Structure 1
Amino acid sequence: MGDMRFVTILGTRPEIIKLSPVIRKLADNNIPNAVIHTGQHYSENLDAVFFEQLELPPPEYNLNVGSGSHGRQTAEMLARIEDVLADEQPDTVLVQGDTNSVLAGALASAKLDVELAHVEAGLRSFDRRMPEEVNRVLTDHAADYLFAPTEQSEEYLRAEGISDDRIFVTGNTIVDAVEQHRKLAAQRSTVLDEHDLAPGEFCLMTAHRANNVDDPSRFACILDGVASFAEETDSDVVYPLHPRAESMLAAHDLPIPDVIRIIEPQDFLDFLRLESASALVFTDSGGVQEEACILNTPCVTMRTTTERPETLEVNANVLVGTDPDQIRTAGKQMLSATHDWPNPFGNGTAAERIVDALRNGDDPNDGRSGGTGP
């Protein structure tokens, strides 16, 4: 591989988690890799904890961009990333997922004619109203290496005219991350004791998507649906409250039903422990849909579309939108679901496949079937 240099760009906690196995694998192979943290999620103390927990060195660059309108935030990151890339002169830039940090990294790389590798390529909700959908489509079409987590993602990319020699089916790095940390979470996390929770005796809720929590009527419907489920099933529901959702509750003067217990946002190990130990997860997060599926915890997704259709196909997840009756009914159905579905996201070797492909410029048709197999 010679003296290849990499730059990895990340900006949110899900990106830190999903890129951690790749960052580790590059380090194991003594491959130079500078990490840029854009600061898109601007809770620096929480992010620092994530790097420590995942046993990653602190990023070489902290851009501290913070929040702002989509355009302003992306433009600021684009300018700052371009400066770093001009200094670092990498051969390849790595991005993961569908955030504004990813789009800024993709555009900066394309303008400087640096090779771009997109981890978790080919996800599609087919809902162009989601800013993430636009980000991932544009990034895929700018990328030189498209690391698709599943065969389904590969099909979407091919349907958009992306050539086979750029697509690599690798499995999803979240499997690597969950497998590397679930035992650690069980050993180290005290979150269940702290909140007096017994495994299998509570349900977990997350809600933070802008189109859900910024709309007071939708947010109220979600709370109503989960609360009526909790009352009917006599379930304890725990809701780690995202700062965005907290500010919207205050702005709209929305009361939290008594049966939903608010707790503070959790670090990765504690959240993994909650997901693993809960009887059921209610969420609007893409990453949580994947993690619940891998951990064999049934999931109810409070959206009308998902870019993780594989979770639906194995009956690990159900889409319900924000109608309270549908949330309640689906919750009751999934509470009694069997938990023995196959994991559709691969066998925990995604990081290895990604680094091998980058090192060797592999033919993606080589060993293709292994990407999502057992």
Structure 2
Amino acid sequence: MTACAIETAAGDGDAVWPTPAGPGRFTITANGAYAARLAGSGDALYVERWTLDGPEPYAVPLPLAQPEEPGALLLPLADGRVLVGRRVDGRRHTFSLLYPTGPETGELVLGAVEAPGSERLVLLPPSPDGICAYAMCVGPDTTTLWLVAGGAFGPEQVAEVKGRCTGGVWLDRTGRILALDRQLGGGPVKAVAVDLERGGEVTPLLQITEESNDRLLLADPDSGLLLIRSDAPSPGHERLGWGVLGSLLPVRFPDCLRLDDAAVTPFAVQPGQVLMPESCGVALRIDAAGGSWVGMWRPSSRRMHQLAAPAGWLAGAGLWTAEGVLRLPYATAGAPCGLAGLEEPADCPAPEPVAVVVEPKVCRPVPLQQAPLTDRKPAG
């Protein structure tokens, strides 16, 4: 599984994916084949597409006659095209698909979405189907979901969800069930599941306590592993935890994922661990005053390994192979397009697989109200 960085707004722990593209921000398709970022510097910014599934990664620049703005939104598709969202006149967002055509860049204009001044429009993570792309228009009381690429007639509204939503995590392999972090009025934030094939039908997904803010950061459809951030263990202070989709077991908040002087954010989960969530490798971005580096952890372990990131790492981006190698994209003056492979340290014992039955549908919250909120024994 792949993902961009999930950045946290200072002071409120409000996870938002993604923030505006910006130079260096890197987005990877759900199948790990392509990625895109804004490259260049100053006022000379352009879209750059990376191909990741070949023997060696390589980058293709996709410049247009006019440079891109730093706030342009980017999303690569599985066919190699790159979706670009641009803000026009303060409230209108236009969408186009860019693709290479020999030495030139082709552009297919898709249409526009209106976002009133009080609303904010963001792109959702790449859809698992690799074809569709969705945007979320966030207002103070209502959130609107738009299909901006992959439809028959340009951008079209597909759902309207009551409340202010952030985040965005796909819960299946088809791009039908989307998890959002929703706030109603001034109440706590709760993760909910939105069924895009049923007009945006909303189902509660996660509630640890009635008062806690419970956000979903990542989900792996193969194993059912969920990565969660919540202030339930200690109100006012959010912690990173994990649970299993559809399981009766509680969410656990390992002490090893809590660092006093650094922020820890998951950004990728090892795929292919079918029904074995405790065996999944999880990649974590660690940010502190001295910079950013990488954490590697499995739910079955009580230890997080901290490793140096490669020079020029596009921080918060990466993907796991099914074999357990974490591949991190980097760009330096000498190597403008590279992938570095990280493996778990040799002193990390291989986890014992633990099979967990995962329900295919999201029908109820993870039931946690009666469970302890800390790890009192090893997982499994």
What's the TM-score once normalised by structure 1's chain length? 0.28
Identify the structure with the greater helix proportion: 1
Q: Which structure is richer in relative contact order (CA contacts within 8 A, separation 6 or more)?
A: 1
Identify the structure with the greater strand proportion: 2
What's the TM-score once normalised by structure 2's chain length? 0.28
